[in-house]
């Protein structure tokens, strides 16, 4: 057999998927707190958008960059809700937020470049960088700094091979929200070192108090690429629609790159996304309120049980401190928790070495299951 591509082989598997496989293989019922999948049905008007598109025969190839009304609606949305100055030409409709991330990295990164990624951070950042034959380099997010990046730590990771910095707020797995001053400092850091700033904002509409701020607001030199998704905001993960908002030359490159990968995003799903933006937005607030209630119920129970955690300000994850329970091996501890107690969580090390001693618990789970799972963790 000829050689399998080494960089594809080298790319690690997502640790969350490993937990999923084990959970599926167990005979008994499992409380699943490991997956970031909204527990709500897709809103009716979104489904209707897809249905109407199918009925009207919208089942052909469409433009690489997305259908024009959706690109225009996204440009308006990011202008109103994210404070970004964008026209339809700055928008590429992608296969979920993951497609936006891949387009952003693919349009900016050369072989052997270094890309700074958060540690702990969503594992797909490092995986996508590796698939592009570049090198992910972690910058630390530490408990003593509220798990926010310190400019000096990010700067210390910059070398002459660094090409881009990836930031993710509201953060998966941490739930941290980016303060405006830090967003501006990150832009200035990118300016100083002539780097791209790739901002994953797929939880932009899920915050519990403080507003999400888009670093692109402070982009003075056309170096910020912002990645968004419909998946979480509108509970439509399987529709696979996201978008990249970028300077025009980058958006053109990102759209062109879609041709050999996907050609275009599934047309009925794009019409569903258009319906999501044009329809009532109270569904977004309802889901956000439900996540906040679950967060508060979970926090109250963990407080009673004496378990430490980071109170999330956004996204829908709870970062729980099990350093005094897991004996320095949170992965083994999490797998034992699943086998012995029937609770599936994501071990912190899935998100980087900085996650040792922590687990990620998803709030996108029915409240009873969430509280029962946390009680078993505390026990």
Number of residues engaging ligand PLP in binding (CB under 6 A): 13
Per CB under 6 A, the list member of 82, 237, 258, 270 interacting with ligand PLP is: 237
CB atoms within 10 A of CB 135: 17
Decide if residue 231 touches ligand PLP (CB under 6 A): yes
Q: Tell me which residue has tokens 């089942």.
A: 59
Binders in 49-88 for ligand PLP, by CB under 6 A? none
Decide if residue 120 touches ligand PLP (CB under 6 A): no
Contact segment (CB under 6 A) with ligand PLP among 44-52, 95-103, 154-162, 272-280 equals 95-103
Q: Which is nearer to ligand PLP, 36 or 140 (CB)?
A: 36
DSSP labels, 338-350 = HHHH-EE-EEGGG
Q: State the pairing for strand pair 114-119/196-200.
A: unpaired
Per-residue binding string, ligand PLP, 97-116, x by CB under 6 A, is: xx------------------
| β-sheet with 114-119: strand ranges across | 91-94, 242-245, 224-229, 196-200, 162-168, 114-119, 135-140
Decide if residue 312 touches ligand PLP (CB under 6 A): no
Q: What are phi and psi of 240, to 5 degrees?
A: 60, 60
Decide if residue 90 touches ligand PLP (CB under 6 A): no
Per-residue binding string, ligand PLP, 171-210, x by CB under 6 A, is: -x---------------------------x-x--------
Per CB under 6 A, the list member of 36, 149, 215, 247 interacting with ligand PLP is: 36
- Would you say 214 and 82 are in contact if contact means Cβ atoms under 8 Å apart? yes
Decide if residue 96 touches ligand PLP (CB under 6 A): yes
Q: Helix, strand or coil for residue 315?
A: coil
Per CB under 6 A, the list member of 168, 226, 313, 349 interacting with ligand PLP is: 168
Task: State which residue has the least CB distance to ligand PLP.
Answer: 96
Q: Tell me which residue has tokens 């083994």.
A: 332
Q: Which is nearer to ligand PLP, 97 or 215 (CB)?
A: 97
- Would you say 337 and 343 are in contact if contact means Cβ atoms under 8 Å apart? yes
Cα dihedral 302, 308, 311, 317, rounded to 10, equals -80
Q: What is the DSSP letter of 314?
A: B
Please state, in angstroms and as integers, the Cα–Cα distance from residue 139 to each residue in 7, 114, 118, 364, following that order: 22, 12, 5, 27
Which residues touch 338 (CB under 8 Å, ≥6 apart)? 19, 22, 23, 26, 30, 344, 345
User: Nearest distance from residue 36's CB to ligand PLP, in Å?
Assistant: 4
Decide if residue 233 touches ligand PLP (CB under 6 A): no
Residue 281: closest CA among 234, 236, 211: 234
Per-residue binding string, ligand PLP, 128-167, x by CB under 6 A, is: ----------------------------------------
Contact segment (CB under 6 A) with ligand PLP among 93-101, 149-157, 178-186, 360-368 equals 93-101
User: Nearest distance from residue 298's CB to ligand PLP, in Å?
Assistant: 19
Binding site for ligand PLP (CB under 6 A): 36, 96-98, 122, 168, 172, 200, 202, 229, 231, 237, 242
């Amino acid at each position: 057999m000829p050689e399998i591509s080494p960089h594809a082989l080298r790319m690690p598997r997502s640790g969350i998927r490993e937990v999923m496989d084990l959970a599926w293989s167990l005979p008994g019922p499992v409380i699943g707190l490991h997956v970031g999948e909204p527990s709500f049905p897709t809103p009716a008007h979104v489904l209707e958008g897809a249905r109407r598109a199918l009925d009207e025969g919208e089942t052909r190839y469409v433009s690489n960059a997305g259908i024009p009304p959706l690109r225009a609606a996204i440009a308006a949305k990011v202008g109103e809700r994210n404070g970004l100055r964008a026209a339809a030409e700055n928008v590429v409709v992608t296969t979920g937020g993951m497609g936006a991330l891949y387009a952003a990295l693919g349009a900016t990164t050369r072989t052997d470049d270094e890309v700074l990624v958060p540690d702990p951070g969503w594992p797909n950042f490092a995986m996508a960088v590796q698939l592009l034959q570049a090198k992910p380099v972690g910058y630390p997010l530490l408990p003593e700094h509220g798990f926010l990046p310190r400019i000096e730590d990010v700067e210390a990771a910059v070398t002459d091979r660094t090409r881009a910095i990836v930031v993710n707020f509201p953060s998966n797995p941490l739930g941290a929200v980016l303060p405006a001053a830090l967003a501006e400092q990150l832009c200035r850091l990118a300016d100083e070192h002539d780097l791209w700033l790739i901002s994953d904002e797929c939880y932009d509409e899920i915050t519990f108090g403080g507003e999400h701020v888009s670093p692109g607001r402070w982009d003075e030199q056309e170096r910020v690429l912002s990645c968004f998704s419909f998946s979480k905001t509108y509970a439509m993960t399987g529709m696979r629609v996201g978008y990249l908002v970028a300077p025009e030359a980058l958006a053109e490159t990102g759209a062109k790159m879609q041709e050999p990968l996907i050609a275009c995003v599934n047309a009925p799903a794009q019409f569903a996304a258009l319906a999501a933006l044009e329809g009532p937005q109270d569904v977004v607030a309802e889901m956000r309120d439900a996540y906040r209630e679950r967060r508060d119920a979970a926090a109250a129970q963990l407080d009673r049980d004496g378990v430490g955690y980071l109170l999330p300000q956004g996204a829908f994850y709870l970062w729980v401190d099990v350093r005094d329970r897991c004996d320095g091996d949170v992965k083994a501890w999490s797998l034992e928790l699943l086998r012995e107690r029937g609770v599936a969580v994501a071990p912190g090390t899935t998100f980087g070495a900085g996650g040792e001693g922590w687990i990620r618990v998803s709030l996108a789970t029915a409240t009873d299951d969430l509280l029962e799972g946390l009680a078993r963790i505390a026990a």
